[in-house]
Structure formats: C-alpha cells, structure tokens
C-alpha cells in the first residue's frame, strides 16, 4: 500500500492522491473495525510511538489510556463522527509528547489520526476567537470585495505566522490568478500573476473542494507507510480524502521545493459548491500550525466565501434586472410590428446592442438580413447562419473567439472577435447575432505556461522550476459572455418564439407538418385525460371504500396512509388537468373581444374567497380598464394571480391584496400586490417556468404551473408578465396587454 516518493506515472490524472498509502510523519494513524474497535490498519510508526510491540488486532482500550476518564469504546460510540475530522482530546502515549486525537468516517472506515501538538502555541483559543471577531468587524466596515480579500490574507498570515499568504481565484479555464497577498519579503511576491491550470490537476482541485484545509509542515518529509494487520483481508487501499495527515504527491513536494517553500498550508474558498479559489500559505522553513488555528483559518475562508457570494449575487441580480428591462424594450418594439419581428428588433438599436454588450447585431431570416452597428457583410452573415444551422447543436451559441469557432471567418476584414447567436427557427437558418470587438489583454504568468511538464525521454512527471514573470499578449478574443448573459439570451429566444414565430410559421407553407403535430398533441391529450385520470379516480375511490369497509380493523397509521394515498392521487389528477390546460393554452385559438377587467377580477375574487373562509383579507381593487383579449384566458390569469395572493398571505393575520392598473401609450399594465411571504428576487427569472416553486410543498400547496400559464397567455396576447418581491415583504405580479391598433 505504500506510495513511493518517486512516482513514475504518465499523467497527473493517474496519481493516487486520495489513496497514497502513507501519511506525513508528524503523527500516526489507526483504522478500527466496528463495533469491537480493533486495529486493522496502522501507520508504520504507530507501534514505536505507542511503545507497544504491535497494535494490530487489539482493542484500542488495550494500549491507550482513557481520555478524561472516558474509555475509547465509550468515546467512539457516543461521538457523532462524520467526514470532517472531529477532535476527541489530547493523549500522551509516550513521555515524548502529546498528540491530538482526531476521528472521521469515510468509505466505511473509522479512521483515527493522532497529530503531534506543538510544545508551545502562539495563540490561545480565546485569542483565536478575538482574531476571528476582528476579521468579521473589518468585513462589516466595507462593501468592497478587494478589502475583504486583503483582510483575509492578512488575518491568516497573522494567525499562522507564515512568510507569505496568497489568495488565488480560478477562472473558467481553471487558471489561478493571485488577487491578494500578504508577506514579509522573505519569499517573492506573486500578486497579479496567473498560474496555469496544469499546476493543479482536476482531481487535485476536486480534493481541495472536498477537504478544505491541508497542511504540509515539511516539504522534505519521508512518508510513513500504512500497513494492514497481518490477519486482515485485503480490502484495497485506504481512502484518505478527508484525513489531516494524508501524504501528498511527490510531484507537489518537488513543486514546493522549486518554489522555495519548505512548508505550506492551503485553505479552500468554496462558493456555491464550486472551488472558487485557494488561500495558499508558504514558509521558508518547516512550520507546524495547530489544528485549532487551522480551524480558525477555515472559518475566515468560509466567511470570505460568503462575502464573495454576496457580491457575486448582487452583481448578477443587477445585471439580470438590466437585461430583463432591455428584453422588455425589445419585445415591446416587436409587438408594435406585428409579424415583422425583424424590424421590431432592430428598431430599438440601443437596446439590441446593450442586451449583449455588442458593437454590432444582425437578424438573419431566410436569406435576408437587417443589421445594427458594425457587422460582417450580408454574404458573410448568411454564411454564418447557414453554418450554425448545419453544425450548431444548441439554441444559444456564444464564443469569445469567433475565428476558432468558425474558421472561415478569418477571411472577413476586421472580423469581430466574439459572437452570440440565438436560433429562432428549427426549419430555416434564422438567427439573431451579436458581435463583440476584440479586447486585447496582457497576462502576466508565473513562469512560461507553454513549457512541457515532462522531461524529454522520461515518463516521470516533473513540475516546472521557473516562476519568473512571463508576459503573454492575448489577441483575437472579446470579453467572455457571462452565465447571466447566456440565460438572458435563452429567455429572449423563448420570448421571440412564444410571441411571434408561432404565428409567422403557422402562416408559412408548414400546414401539413403542423396538422400532423396537432393531431399527435390531440391524441396525447386524449390519452392523458382518459387513460390517466381514470386510474387516479379509482385510487381515490377504492381508498375511501377500503377506509369505510375496514374501519374497525384499521389502525390510526393505516388510516393516515390511506389518506396520503388518496391525497396524492388527487394531486396527481390535478397535475394532469393543469398540464392539459397548459398544453391547450398554446394551441387554443384566441377569441378576442372587449373584456371588462373589473368583472373578470370580481369573479376571480369570489372564487379566491372560497379558499379563505374565516380569514381577514382587505381587498383594494381599483378601477380597471376594458381591454381587447380572450375573456376565458384572462379569467384564468386573474384566478391564478388572486389565488396565489390569498395562498401566500395565509401566514398574515391581516392580509392585504391590491389590484391596480396603469395605462401607457402602447399598453395596459395590471398588477396584483400582496403582503405575503414574498420571494428572493435572485430567483425571479424562474417564477414563470413550469414546475418552478419558490416554497416547499409542505408549506404552500400547488403544482407550479399556474404562473407558467399566466406567462403563456400573455405571450399569446402579445403582452408580458413579470414579478417583483422580497422575502417576507410581499410580492407584486404584473401583466401587460398591448392596446389594439385603430
């Protein structure tokens, strides 16, 4: 099981970094069987430290004294031990020093690690608390992310005493850039330098994500192998993913020595489940950091991660709100041009360009183009559209290097560097395209990233030895498209198709294909309504029959189970009905006529009050306009919005529901506001999706289809629907209907 210090392997992806077969020598390790707590695996140094001939096949209580008067069997049986190493206490197996006992379970093994404690510690626990509190106060005093990052590296260097502490942030290509640094000038500074992704292979990054803190107190240590009991069955190598003493890759130790560091510690910054960055600590001499100090550093990193997440979410929310506003402007322009959506899109030139932060945009529909700003010529635009239609496998395409994605564009004079495209037809090469100019950047690498990691003629891995600044000028690339921008592009595409393209394609020469599709949909609807609803009715009926006939023989649990079956069947039936209604809503022909919204909301209010008997609700319904729309569909919209308002104010002793209207030159806007539980605006873009719920089913019933129906109905009327709210501060849902043309 020993992992030799010289590893001959063909690539970092093959290194057994989770199962090295050895530990670092500043402690010893035992693996215990349960429930007898006998030793099945041990590090080779355990017997000498414990001063016993052999620890194998013996209960731990046979050779280790109790901890604070508690036997190891009792201690391990009572402790709640998971993946994270848990402190059990200080033990002194020999006169040579004390060891901190740590326990965790992983992959079916109970693993005990005994880490040598320092003779003296620079910090007491109360001092660690004071330092952590001081760090929190520094964060609260500023909203600047860079201030928080600088404060984190300074605090960790103060806690640990390392010569240099760096904060790396990983980009989309997994390169790491040093964005904060604190040092004493004994080691060179790397602030602003980028380290290539190959320096930290993918499996190492995943290990950093799982096990947030790792200490290497001496880069020249000799690994201590882990040896199984002579009587144990071969169970394969021991997984040390979460171990604190885990031995590290010899290649990494060589990397440390090349960097001039004798000791290192890393603390992972994990943000929303991903490895956002690393706090790397380096020292010119071997250095031990007590477990309590490491835990305090991990706390600092987690607080920093929360601060980073807060800033990221705020920026994303601000960008999404801006994109949503621009999308509304574009859709309004399109609605004013009927089926000529191309003219509607390019009419609002500023909004179209700002939507993708572009220098040029084009709409390509069936060999015809309309352009705004700087774009390739018509011939090249059509060629790009045809290529995307033939080779594209996504409805939304983004690239920051167009010539790499579409090599033929290299022949375009002053070719744009980046492009975004959304497909607006499955039958024709029709796209909306945005183009971005080149953004020339200079990257300062910590060493030449192009140098091969292997010595020619040898298979053994060798880390690079030079970390001197190497400059690279990156050309031919634009700014990258963010996830928020890609989501907005997808939303705009759906809106375009939902509002306009259905009508445009129905009027084209696709009647035969559409008739076939409609027949299939009708057959599906018939099958669902007759083949699914009947079994659900049977389940409910027979559950009731069984409850009545076997009432005397049923226990309370039996009756509760039958009620759950009946309720679930009724919910499933309701879900089928709602799905059918949602499906029909997209195919039912609009029967527009003048509709008095006062009457529509009066009926919806009466229906909603049936579910609110005994509650105190204040209704504020203003004077509403008469609009041109399908009355049955508008009744469905009013019913959904008022029912939701009643439902989500259920926790309020005094519920207030307000309905008001606003008129603009082009549309009517009607809003329904409540003082209920509200929602997080960060998830507002998901509200109108099918099956999207902001609250638990246990708290508020529903199928998650009502708001999707609202949006679909508005889209069919050429309008839109949106929402605003805040957690525990109520919500406001608004829909708009365009005014009919004279």
The predicted structure's pLDDT at residue 10: 42
Contacts of 545 (CB under 8 A, 6+ apart): none
The predicted structure's pLDDT at residue 20: 92
Take residue 25 and report the two structure tokens written for it: 């020598």
321-346 pLDDT, tens per residue? 888 888 888 888 887 776 677 888 88
The predicted structure's pLDDT at residue 224: 96
The predicted structure's pLDDT at residue 2: 33
Q: Where is average pLDDT lowest: 227-231, 432-436, 522-526? A: 522-526
pLDDT at 702 over 70: no
Take residue 434 and report the two structure tokens written for it: 């945005």
Query: CA–CA distance from 623 to each of 48, 302, 602, 661 (Å)?
Result: 88, 52, 11, 7
CB 343 within 8 A of CB 370: yes
pLDDT band of 91, cuts 50, 70, 90: confident
**Bigger pLDDT: 554 or 585?**
554
Q: Which residues of 673-705 are buried (b: 16+ CB within 10 A; e: fewer)?
A: bbbbbbbebeebbebbeeeeebeeeeebebbbb
DSSP string for 225-262:
EEEE-TTS----PPP-TT-SSB---HHHHHHHHHHT-S
Number of other CB atoms surrounding residue 125 within 10 Å? 12
pLDDT at 8 over 50: no
Going along the chain from its start, the domains and CATH numbers come out as 121-222+247-314 (3.30.450.40), 336-440+475-508 (3.30.450.270), 590-742 (3.30.565.10)
CB 43 within 8 A of CB 244: no
What is the C-alpha separation between 119 and 133, in angstroms, rounded? 26
SS3 724: strand
Q: What is the mean pLDDT of residues 473-486?
A: 83
What is the C-alpha separation between 21 and 17, in angstroms, rounded? 9
Displacement of CA 214 from its chain's centroid (Å): 25
* Arithmetic mean of pLDDT over the chain: 81
pLDDT at 67 over 90: no
pLDDT at 455 over 60: no
Q: What is the mean pLDDT of residues 476-497?
A: 86
Q: Where is average pLDDT lowest: 581-590, 603-612, 649-658? A: 581-590
The predicted structure's pLDDT at residue 424: 84
What is the C-alpha separation between 144 and 126, in angstroms, rounded? 29
DSSP string for 159-212:
HH--SEEEEEEE-TT--EEEEEEEE-SSS---TT-EE-GGGS-HHHHHHHHHS-
Q: What is the mean pLDDT of residues 370-376?
A: 90
Rounded to 5°, angle at Cα 650 from 646 and 653: 115
496-510 pLDDT, tens per residue? 877 655 555 555 544
The predicted structure's pLDDT at residue 96: 57
The predicted structure's pLDDT at residue 644: 86
What is the C-alpha separation between 500 and 278, in angstroms, rounded? 48
Q: What is the mean pLDDT of residues 150-158?
A: 91
What is the C-alpha separation between 12 and 9, in angstroms, rounded? 8
What is the C-alpha separation between 187 and 200, in angstroms, rounded? 21
Q: What is the mean pLDDT of residues 538-554?
A: 76
Q: Which residues of 183-207 are buried (b: 16+ CB within 10 A; e: fewer)?
A: beeebeebeebbbbbbbbbeebbeb
What is the C-alpha separation between 714 and 742, in angstroms, rounded? 21
Terminal-to-terminal C-alpha distance of the chain: 84
CB 714 within 8 A of CB 637: yes
Q: Where is average pLDDT lowest: 379-393, 652-666, 681-695? A: 681-695
CB 72 within 8 A of CB 66: yes
Phi, psi of 427 (to 5 degrees): -110, -25
Displacement of CA 515 from its chain's centroid (Å): 41
pLDDT band of 4, cuts 50, 70, 90: very low
520-541 pLDDT, tens per residue? 665 565 566 556 666 767 677 7
**Bigger pLDDT: 501 or 484?**
484
The predicted structure's pLDDT at residue 194: 85
The predicted structure's pLDDT at residue 472: 66
What is the C-alpha separation between 506 and 199, in angstroms, rounded? 55
CB 458 within 8 A of CB 443: no
The predicted structure's pLDDT at residue 574: 59
264-285 pLDDT, tens per residue? 999 999 998 899 999 999 999 9
Q: What is the mean pLDDT of residues 62-67?
A: 88
DSSP, res 289: -
**Bigger pLDDT: 492 or 528?**
492
The predicted structure's pLDDT at residue 1: 32
Query: CA–CA distance from 191 to each of 140, 153, 239 (Å)?
Result: 25, 12, 35
The predicted structure's pLDDT at residue 320: 85
The predicted structure's pLDDT at residue 666: 83
Q: What is the mean pLDDT of residues 177-200?
A: 88
H or E element at residue 155: helix 145-160
Number of other CB atoms surrounding residue 552 within 10 Å? 5
What is the C-alpha separation between 735 and 671, in angstroms, rounded? 6
Q: Give whichever of 331-335, 597-601, 642-646 has the largest mean pLDDT.
A: 597-601
Sequence-ordered strand ranges (E) for 496-616: 593-596
Q: Where is average pLDDT lowest: 227-231, 464-468, 548-552? A: 464-468
The predicted structure's pLDDT at residue 465: 59
The predicted structure's pLDDT at residue 3: 32
- Please give the share of the chain, as a percent, with pLDDT higher than 90: 28
């Amino acid at each position: 099981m020993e992992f030799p210090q010289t590893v001959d392997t063909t690539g970092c992806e093959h290194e057994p970094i989770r199962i090295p077969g050895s530990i670092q020598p500043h402690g010893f390790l035992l693996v215990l069987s349960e429930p007898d707590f006998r030793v099945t695996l041990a590090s080779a140094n355990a017997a000498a430290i414990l001063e016993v001939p052999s620890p194998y096949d013996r209960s731990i209580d046979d050779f280790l004294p109790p901890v604070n008067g508690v036997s190891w069997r009792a201690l391990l049986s009572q402790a709640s031990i998971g993946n994270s190493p848990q402190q059990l206490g200080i033990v002194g197996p020999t006169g040579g020093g004390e060891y901190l006992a740590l326990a965790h379970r992983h992959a079916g093994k109970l693993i005990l690690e005994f880490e040598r404690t320092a003779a003296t510690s620079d910090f007491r626990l109360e001092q660690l608390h004071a330092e952590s509190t001081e760090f929190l106060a520094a964060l609260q005093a500023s909203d600047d992310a860079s201030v928080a990052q600088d404060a984190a590296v300074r605090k960790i260097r103060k806690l640990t005493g390392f010569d240099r502490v760096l904060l790396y942030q990983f980009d989309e290509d997994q390169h790491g850039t040093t964005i904060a640094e604190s040092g004493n000038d004994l080691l060179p500074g790397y602030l602003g330098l980028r380290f290539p992704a190959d320096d930290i292979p993918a499996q190492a990054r995943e290990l950093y994500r799982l096990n947030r803190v790792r200490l290497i107190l001496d880069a020249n240590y000799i690994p201590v192998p882990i040896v199984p009991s002579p009587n144990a069955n071969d169970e394969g190598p021991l997984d040390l993913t979460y171990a604190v003493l885990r031995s590290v890759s010899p290649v990494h130790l060589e990397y440390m020595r090349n960097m001039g560091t004798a000791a290192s510690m890393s603390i992972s910054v994990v943000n929303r489940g991903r490895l956002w960055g690393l706090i790397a600590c380096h020292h010119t001499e071997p250095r031990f950091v007590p477990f309590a100090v490491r835990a305090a550093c991990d706390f600092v990193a987690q607080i920093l991660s929360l601060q980073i997440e807060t800033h990221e979410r705020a920026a994303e929310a601000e960008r999404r709100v801006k994109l949503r506003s621009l999308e509304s402007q574009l859709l309004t322009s399109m609605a004013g041009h009927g089926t000529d959506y191309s003219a509607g899109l390019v009419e609002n030139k500023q909004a179209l360009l700002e939507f993708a932060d572009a220098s040029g945009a084009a709409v390509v529909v069936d060999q015809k183009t309309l352009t705004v700003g700087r774009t390739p010529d018509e011939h090249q635009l059509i060629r790009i559209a045809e290529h995307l239609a033939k080779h594209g496998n996504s409805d939304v395409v983004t690239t920051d290097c167009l010539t790499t994605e579409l090599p033929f564009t290299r022949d375009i004079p002053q070719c744009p560097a980046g492009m975004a495209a959304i497909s607006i037809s499955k039958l024709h090469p029709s796209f909306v395209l945005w183009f971005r100019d080149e953004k020339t950047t200079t990257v300062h690498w910590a060493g030449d990233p192009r140098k091969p990691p292997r010595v020619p003629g040898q298979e053994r891995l060798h880390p690079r030895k030079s970390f001197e600044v190497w400059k690279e000028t990156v050309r031919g690339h634009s700014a990258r498209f963010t996830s928020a921008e890609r989501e907005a592009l997808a939303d705009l595409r759906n809106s375009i198709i939902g509002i306009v393209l259905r009508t445009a394609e129905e009027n084209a020469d696709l009647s035969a294909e559409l008739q076939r599709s409609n027949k299939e949909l009708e057959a599906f609807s018939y099958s669902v309504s007759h083949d699914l609803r009947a079994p659900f009715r049977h389940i409910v009926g027979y559950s009731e029959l069984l409850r009545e006939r076997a009432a005397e023989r049923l226990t309370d649990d039996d009756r509760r189970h039958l009620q759950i079956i009946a309720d679930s069947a009724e919910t499933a039936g309701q879900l089928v009905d709602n799905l059918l209604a949602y499906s029909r809503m997209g195919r039912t022909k609009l029967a527009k006529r003048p509709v008095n919204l006062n009457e529509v909301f009066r009926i919806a209010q009466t229906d909603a009050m049936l579910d609110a008997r005994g509650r105190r609700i204040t209704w504020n319904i203003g004077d509403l306009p008469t609009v041109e729309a399908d009355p049955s569909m508008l009744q469905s919209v009013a019913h959904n919005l008022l029912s939701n308002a009643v439902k989500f104010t259920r926790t309020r002793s005094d519920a207030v529901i307000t309905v008001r209207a606003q008129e603009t030159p082009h549309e009517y806007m009607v809003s329904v506001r409540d003082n209920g539980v509200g929602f997080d605006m960060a998830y507002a873009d998901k509200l109108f999706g099918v099956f999207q719920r902001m609250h638990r089913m246990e708290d508020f019933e529903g199928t998650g289809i009502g708001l999707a129906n609202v949006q679909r109905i508005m889209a069919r009327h050429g309008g839109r629907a949106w929402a605003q709210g805040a957690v525990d501060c109520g919500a406001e849902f608004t829909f708009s209907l365009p005014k009919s043309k004279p």
